[in-house]
Amino acid sequence: MGWFIVLIGALLMLKAAALILVPRKLLHLVQKVLSGKHAKRLGWIPVGIGVLLCISAKFSYAVLAVILLGLLYVAKGAHILVTPIDKIRKHKCFSLSDKLYRLIGIVTLIVGMFLINIAM
């Protein structure tokens, strides 16, 4: 299960690269996905990732950090499942500046690198 932590770290790094290089295109893609017919079902993806991260935490060097990240993913998925989609679409995080998206991308890149480092 250590490979799962590496996979999540690599996906976080890919997301961070997109946030740093093309934040507006990524934001437009997220808005397009949220306007879909079954947008509420997307909440199950972070819940599943969070549960799998909590299960695979014992295969890393920083067990507590992986468990906390897994719990954050579960909370994110629960938020998507419970909150109405219209309210999520109108959230203020979709109207931030490009510089702030790039800063979030840098932090996400560091978290992804941290996950890959502690899994090996």
CB 49 within 8 A of CB 73: yes
Q: pLDDT digit string (tens) for 59-72?
A: 888 889 999 999 99
Six-digit token string for 23 = 């934040």
Residue 92 CB-density burial (10 A; 0-12 exposed, 13-18 middle, 19+ buried): exposed
* Cα gap 17→74, rounded to integer Å: 23
Q: pLDDT digit string (tens) for 73-113?
A: 999 999 988 888 888 888 888 888 889 999 999 999 999 99
* Cα gap 33→91, rounded to integer Å: 15
pLDDT the model gives residue 84: 86
pTM of the model: 0.84
- In the predicted structure, residue 120 carries a pLDDT above the cut 80: no
Largest distance between two CA atoms of the chain? 41
pLDDT the model gives residue 36: 76
C-alpha distances out from residue 2 to 51, 56, 61, 66, 69, Å: 14, 6, 10, 11, 15
Q: pLDDT digit string (tens) for 1-57?
A: 788 889 999 999 999 999 999 988 988 888 888 887 788 888 899 999 999 999 998
Mark 21-50 as b/e (b = at least 16 C-beta within 10 Å).
eebeebbeeeeeebeeeeebebbeebbebb
pLDDT the model gives residue 17: 94
